[in-house]
Amino acid sequence: MSRAYYVTTPIYYANADPHIGSAYTFCVADSLARWHRQAGLDTWLVTGTDEHGEKIAEAAAQRGLAPKLFADEISARFRATWDEVGLSVDRFVRTTEPDHVRNVKAILSKVHADGWIEKRDYEGLYCVGCERFLMERDLVNGLCADHERAPEPRSESSYFFRMSREFGWLRRILEERPDFIRPERYRNEALAMLRDESGLGDLSISRPKARLDWGIELPFDPDYVCYVWFDALISYLTGAGYPDDPKFAARWAGAEHVIGKDILKPHAIFWPIMLKAMGLDLPRHIHVHGYWTVEGKKMSKSLGNALSPLEVQTRYGFEPFRYVVLREMSFGLDADLREAAIVERINADLANNLGNLVSRTLNLVERFCDGRIPEPAPDWRALVDTEIGPEPSSVPQQMVEQMDRVEIHRAVASVFELTGALNRYFDQRAPWKAIKDPATAIHAHTTLYTCCAGLRAVAVLLRPFMPKTGEEILTRLGVAAATPPVLDVRDPALWDAPLAGSRVTKGTPLFPRLEAIKPE
């Protein structure tokens, strides 16, 4: 049995429609899943919707709907959107589903019985946006720094998850496993949270039903429902088939979380300690990405710049857009999305670099070789690394290392360095001249063969990030069916499997050039 690779997106709040920020997290998870599935790992991707808590109850009330009906609607839109734009899901968890509710209750009962939960009185300032009590330092001019709204003073009896007693343990884990939270800046942030314990404490995991009844009832006190984060994090277990699916243990041993930096604290602090309380191992990694702004501004509904993935699909095609966001955001850092930059990248990398290589190579094969990939000179393979810089055969291994470190922006860039190198090689060898003279035809055949072999490698390396494009290139090379579904990019066959004789189809341009945006 191959090792399992289990990747999660955060489950999205069912209070608003998906936008490109939410889609980015998914594009990363989907690319990781496809990359590892292609390498033969038993891969499982989970996403879903986070449907309990005040945020959802408030949004539902504004629409005059019962929370469940409201969540049904939004959750269905998330599902349909991911389907529509080609992001694939193995299990979509809704936190209102019976198996998830059962898991949350069973876990609450167990950790309660094991002494991890304690009832206390609590007074503080509560932010509904964050769904938590705030500390002084979370406030700016008396307002929640994230939501710019005034928190409400609240006093209530609450059940606390006794998290603080494990801060020392967690600190040691973060020190012993330097890549548990990546990139490193977020590990440092988590360590800083632990150092400054005044900002943390035990975690209130209950809400009195008198105030909020939209949640999972505490199994040991029917007057309370469970705090939404405690409920939501458990979706990662539900999604992996906890507790009875025969594949659960293997999946959990291969768990990788992808999250945005705004939800570092629940993932880096609450979740490891919750898992310890349950007697489960920690995930392998938590991968943290930065935040997108649009044309320099925070994305928000009121600014009208919270682009939906479906709008993006109509404007650019989702796949080109997906390439742009994966490429433009250095994983872990914030990035700004500008329309002009999107158009520029699509034109430069997709239309000119990749699209042009496909069309000019296949054009010559169609016109001068009866549409079949010609036989190269016997030494073609030896020439690859000497004539096409920078060392094309090493690109796959380089990408394996980049993907292991989740440097997605670097990995996608590597593919386009390869297409750039193949284009330069094509220019230098000028096959359009050599092919016309029988004395030099073999020179041109070698060039065309090498470009086709290079394009096959490009297609397989690109497939995890641009699945339809990768498939389309393989189809045009006439090798789709011959390419085994599992093809480890380190397999020498990526370059070496014979290609001569394959029937190609030039087709229409892969990526039409987009009009540059005219200044207003």
Question: Helix or strand or coil: residue 50?
Answer: strand
User: Which C-beta is closer to ligand MSP: that of 24 or that of 331?
Assistant: 24
User: Which C-beta is closer to ligand MSP: that of 329 or that of 421?
Assistant: 329
SS3 helix, strand, coil % of the chain, rounded to 5?
50, 15, 35
Residue among 4, 5, 7, 21 that touches ligand MSP (CB under 6 A): 21
In the stretch 175-214, what mask flags binding to ligand MSP with x, by CB under 6 A?
----------------------------------------
Name every residue whose Cβ is closer than 8 Å to that of residue 279 and which is 6 or more positions away in sequence: none
Residue among 4, 6, 7, 13 that touches ligand MSP (CB under 6 A): 13
How does DSSP assign 320-380, residue by residue? HHHHHHHHHS-TTS-EEE-HHHHHHHIIIIIIIIIIHHHHHHHHHHHHHSTTBPPPPPTTH
Compute the least distance from the CB of residue 239 to ligand MSP, in Å: 10
Residue among 5, 12, 126, 252 that touches ligand MSP (CB under 6 A): 12
Beta-bridge partner residues of 144: 139
When asked if residue 53 is in the footprint of ligand MSP (CB under 6 A), the reply is: no
Binding region for ligand MSP (CB under 6 A) out of 9-17, 187-195, 200-208, 352-360:
9-17
Residue among 25, 238, 353, 483 that touches ligand MSP (CB under 6 A): 25
Residue among 4, 5, 6, 10 that touches ligand MSP (CB under 6 A): 10
When asked if residue 435 is in the footprint of ligand MSP (CB under 6 A), the reply is: no
Residue among 193, 200, 249, 263 that touches ligand MSP (CB under 6 A): 263
User: Which C-beta is closer to ligand MSP: that of 14 or that of 452?
Assistant: 14
Residue 349 identity (one-letter amino acid): D
Dist CA 355 CA 338 (whole Å): 23
Compute the least distance from the CB of residue 50 to ligand MSP, in Å: 3
Dist CA 60 CA 37 (whole Å): 38
Burial class from Cβ neighbours inside 10 Å (0-12, 13-18, 19+) for residue 370 reads: exposed
Compute the least distance from the CB of residue 60 to ligand MSP, in Å: 16
Give the residue from 377, 287, 359, 381 showing the smallest Cα distance to 506: 359
What tokens does 508 get?
A: 């229409």
What tokens does 510 get?
A: 């892969």
Dist CA 429 CA 417 (whole Å): 18
In the stretch 82-121, what mask flags binding to ligand MSP with x, by CB under 6 A?
----------------------------------------
When asked if residue 299 is in the footprint of ligand MSP (CB under 6 A), the reply is: yes
Dist CA 266 CA 357 (whole Å): 46
Give the footprint of ligand MSP on residues 217-256 (CB under 6 A). Answer: 232-233, 235
When asked if residue 144 is in the footprint of ligand MSP (CB under 6 A), the reply is: no
What tokens does 231 get?
A: 């409920």
Residue where the block lists tokens 């409400």: 152
When asked if residue 259 is in the footprint of ligand MSP (CB under 6 A), the reply is: yes
User: Which C-beta is closer to ligand MSP: that of 25 or that of 38?
Assistant: 25
Site of interaction with ligand MSP (CB under 6 A)? 10-13, 21-22, 24-25, 50, 232-233, 235, 259-260, 262-263, 291-292, 299
